[in-house]
Chain A
Amino acid sequence: MSISVLAVDDSRTMRDMINLALSSEGFEVHLAEDGEHGLEVLDDLAPDAIITDINMPRLDGFGFIDAVRLRDETKTIPILVLTTESSPDLKARARLSGATGWIVKPFAQDKLVRALRMVVG
């Protein structure tokens, strides 16, 4: 039974890295390019966890988390914020939106996997 993860990042490289890091560990990976696209994917998918970037066009990570938390179907899905920004302000802002945890890029595969397993069990 594989764990499904939606990764939202506007950088194709990051999407590819996350996909590679998680697919090879047996996760079922779904990808989206920005917050808007992520919400579209969530229209017909309820992943076990979400990983999202902050700086993205159209709808940024904060707005995306806000929207996920407002939807009944998705409001309990754990969300890990994955970004190069690591200032306390940004973390506080993400927490306020309802982020579950925070991972700083560049990530190591084992750390990402462990953080995910921790929030999805």
Chain B
Amino acid sequence: MSDPMQEIMASFFIECEELHESLVDALQALADGDADVETINVAFRAVHSIKGGAGAFGLDDLVNFAHQFETVMDACRSGDLAMDDPLNSLFLRCSDVLSDLIRCSRDGEPIDTAMSGGLIEELAAYVSSDNEGGAEPEEEIDFQPMTLDLGELGGPGDDMAVDLPSLDDLPPINLDFPSTSPGLLVEFRPDRELYESGNEPLFLIKTLADLGPCQTTVTLDPPKSIEDLKNLGGRLSWSILVETVSQPDAVAEIFEFTDGLCQLNVTPQQDAEPDAVISELTEETTPVVTPQADDIPTAAPPAPAETSKANPIDSPSTKRSESKPAKASPTVRVDLERIERLVNLVGELVINQAMLSQSIAQEDIPPNSPVSAGLDEFMQLTRNIQESVMMIRAQPVKSLFQRMSRIVRESSAAIDKRVRLVTDGETTEIDKTAIERLADPLTHMIRNAVDHGLENAATRRERGKNEQGEIRLSAAHRSGRVVIEVADDGGGIDREKVRAKAIEKGLIAEDAALSESETDQLLFLPGFSTATEVSSLSGRGVGMDVVRTQISSLGGRVSIESSPGVGTTFSISLPLTLAVLDGMVITVAGETLVIPLNAIVETLSLAVDDLRTVAEGQKVLRVREQFVSVLDLGTELGYRAQIPVEEGTIALLISPEEGVLVALLVDTIEDQRQVVIKGMQESYGRVPGVAAATILGDGQIALILDPNDLIQNSSGDDVVILQKKAS
């Protein structure tokens, strides 16, 4: 088993990320002016918790930075310091550095103390000039980062971490006394308040017995009034003679918690004379000798009623004995592997259910029979289970968006543009894998938007726009997919420039007639870059073609909309889950295949009259005044040679890009159903046009096609251009 401290440390860093996320959230809310009274508290607690954990692991740099950060924030939340824009911006920068410190501490990288030190000074300036008692300079002395060494227990003589108000208030203790003292006389009279604070005289006396053998005498003062009868507090007192070489301050340490709640006298005894002590006591006293602490009879000192909570029935042995934390939290951390296993099993369940449905359908069982009704419920239940399991993998895009806000801050600072990031739909959930794999393409798109999308301040002024550019990052569910948009309010795509560049790079012919949207699509071609010179920001060798590839590996699509002077919007459209899809089961040349339902715009039955033949035997189909390219799926997949198109042939209309349609010819449509995606990449690598495989209800394996990929890799001309010729 691995070192538990290492595990806790690893979990600490995960927690740090979560805390940092809530910190950024709170600071953003403060910056946007939609904070409430709790917001600053949330931010404070986040930093405070990071500091607390870091202290336990001796991460001094992190502790010191978090401490200064927290101190200024504390001044804000107590109202000693007013939140304003410069302060908020400082907090945001501190939050970034805090994140760096966490990362460096986690990865064991050297820490850039110049950066954190500078900010600590900036923070310190706030509290030194504005300090009105909110932050305490001496608190730093109290905080001593130290490593927690669980392997070694210190001796009882260690200084206690127990820290109560100063001992000055204690009754006088004679400290001038020889260390060879044979004993101490401890006189202890608890106030009523001591019992109310949860302190128990019995336990204190037992602890005292650790110092040496005790002779204990308890006294119950006679009641002074009727009221006193039920009020034992203040009437019980103990006189304990301890045979010990310990100093009186060892006793004071034991009674530290009771400071101010009792009368305590500790007197060194030169020559212990127990008899002498007892002789001074009243007749009502009962001496109780306790040679061993554990042997103290629980019944002996008549403890006041309210302190006798440990009655035998409630003793720990009869309590719930499980040592695991009681219903720890509203969230549970689960190994991803376990979820994968569950997802796979649910996949099997779905397949099994489909097979069962198929067998029952073949048995000619009447639809109103109990078997059919039961099957219906089973299907419903299977679907619910499947959805619930998929939801386990789903996470809000918030963490992703937060990373982007940092990208905006950094990239806008790098090229000296003022940019504001507005986010929307942060709670939209998508598959965890998708969140992880979206970070790269989104980062690139955001950098692009800051660098190329937004005009510089002077141009914006001329155009009557706010000098501060705006980038809007949003996520939303739209017809079974998640759409993530990156929109800027910049100058829009300079299509003339794009066109010139494409011609220069030999990507299109000089006389190519391209629509606006086709021109925009050029941005996604490999090797295309509009930056006339490589800028330090977005010129990192990653083009929009890579972005498109990354998105399509997630089953998604990217599209552009742009209007000159108004701005550009990139939309990423992703499937909700990566594990199951709604598919259309079709056959072509005797092969059964699955086409994702959301790729199909429409299904048609062909009329021969609507077909036209254009160059090189390519056919186009007229669909409501629009001509679309026609591809025979069987031919494309190499199952058969070109076949004549007959009246009534079934065509699936596919839209590989915004505004483009292609008709895919198939033989029959078998069914529409949910299929479990079984990846093939690991075994076969990437097969063009094929997304994955699945197992159908009858146990048959069917390929799941990626029609968009298929069309783009089609044997014919580029279909986009083909369509252009046709119209």
Are A and B genuine complex partners?
yes
Binding site for B on A (CB under 8 A): 1-4, 6, 10-17, 19-21, 23-24, 28-33, 37, 40-41, 45-46, 48, 55-57, 69, 75-79, 83-88, 91-92, 95, 98-115, 117-121
Tell me whether B51 and A30 are in contact (CB under 8 A): no
Query: Closest residue of chain B to A97, judged by CB?
Result: B197
20 additional contacts (CB under 8 A) given A37-B329, A75-B196, A112-B161: A1-B316, A2-B323, A10-B45, A11-B15, A12-B11, A13-B8, A13-B11, A21-B150, A98-B196, A99-B197, A100-B257, A106-B56, A108-B161, A111-B154, A111-B161, A114-B160, A115-B162, A119-B199, A119-B257, A121-B200
Tell me whether B11 and A57 are in contact (CB under 8 A): no
Chain A positions within 8 Å of B5 at CB level: 20
Chain A positions within 8 Å of B44 at CB level: 55
**Contacts A84-B55, A86-B143 given: A111-B325 contact, CB under 8 Å?**
no
Indicate the member of B136, B320, B323 with the most A CB atoms within 10 Å.
B323
Check if B378 is an interface residue, CB within 8 A of chain A.
Answer: no
Report B232 CB to chain A, min CB distance, Å: 13
| 15 A-B interface contacts by CB (under 8 A) | A13-B8, A13-B56, A19-B325, A24-B150, A31-B325, A32-B326, A46-B309, A77-B198, A84-B143, A100-B257, A101-B199, A103-B163, A104-B142, A109-B148, A111-B161
Binding site for A on B (CB under 8 A): 4-5, 7-8, 11-12, 15, 41-42, 44-45, 48-49, 51-53, 55-56, 136, 139, 142-143, 145-146, 148-150, 153-154, 156, 158, 160-165, 195-200, 202-204, 206-207, 254, 256-257, 260, 306-307, 309-310, 314-317, 319-321, 323, 325-329
**Bound: A13/B9 CA distance, A:** 7
Cβ-closest 10 pairs across A and B: A121-B203, A31-B325, A13-B53, A78-B198, A13-B12, A100-B198, A101-B257, A111-B161, A86-B142, A106-B56
Tell me whether B56 and A14 are in contact (CB under 8 A): yes
**Bound: A98/B194 CA distance, A:** 9
Chain B positions within 8 Å of A45 at CB level: 319-320, 326
**Bound: A24/B136 CA distance, A:** 36
Tell me whether B56 and A119 are in contact (CB under 8 A): no
**Bound: A81/B204 CA distance, A:** 18
Contact partner, B319, options A4, A17, A91, A104, Cβ 8 Å: A4
**Bound: A107/B161 CA distance, A:** 7
Chain A positions within 8 Å of B42 at CB level: 57
Chain B positions within 8 Å of A40 at CB level: 327
With contacts defined as CB atoms under 8 Å apart, how many contacts are there between chain A and chain B in the complex?
200
**Bound: A94/B562 CA distance, A:** 61
Report B183 CB to chain A, min CB distance, Å: 21
Tell me whether A76 and B48 are in contact (CB under 8 A): no
Tell me whether B146 and A106 are in contact (CB under 8 A): yes
Tell me whether A55 and B199 are in contact (CB under 8 A): no
Chain A positions within 8 Å of B165 at CB level: 88, 91-92, 95
Chain A positions within 8 Å of B150 at CB level: 20-21, 24, 109
**Contacts A48-B310, A95-B197 given: A109-B153 contact, CB under 8 Å?**
yes
Tell me whether B254 and A118 are in contact (CB under 8 A): yes
**Bound: A40/B330 CA distance, A:** 12
Tell me whether A56 and B326 are in contact (CB under 8 A): no
Chain B positions within 8 Å of A95 at CB level: 165, 197, 260
Indicate the member of B12, B49, B195, B321 with the most A CB atoms within 10 Å.
B49
Contact partner, B329, options A33, A55, A91, Cβ 8 Å: A33
Tell me whether B51 and A84 are in contact (CB under 8 A): yes
**Bound: A95/B204 CA distance, A:** 18
Report B718 CB to chain A, min CB distance, Å: 54
Report B12 CB to chain A, min CB distance, Å: 4
Contact partner, A78, options B56, B142, B163, B199, Cβ 8 Å: B199
Chain B positions within 8 Å of A91 at CB level: 163-165
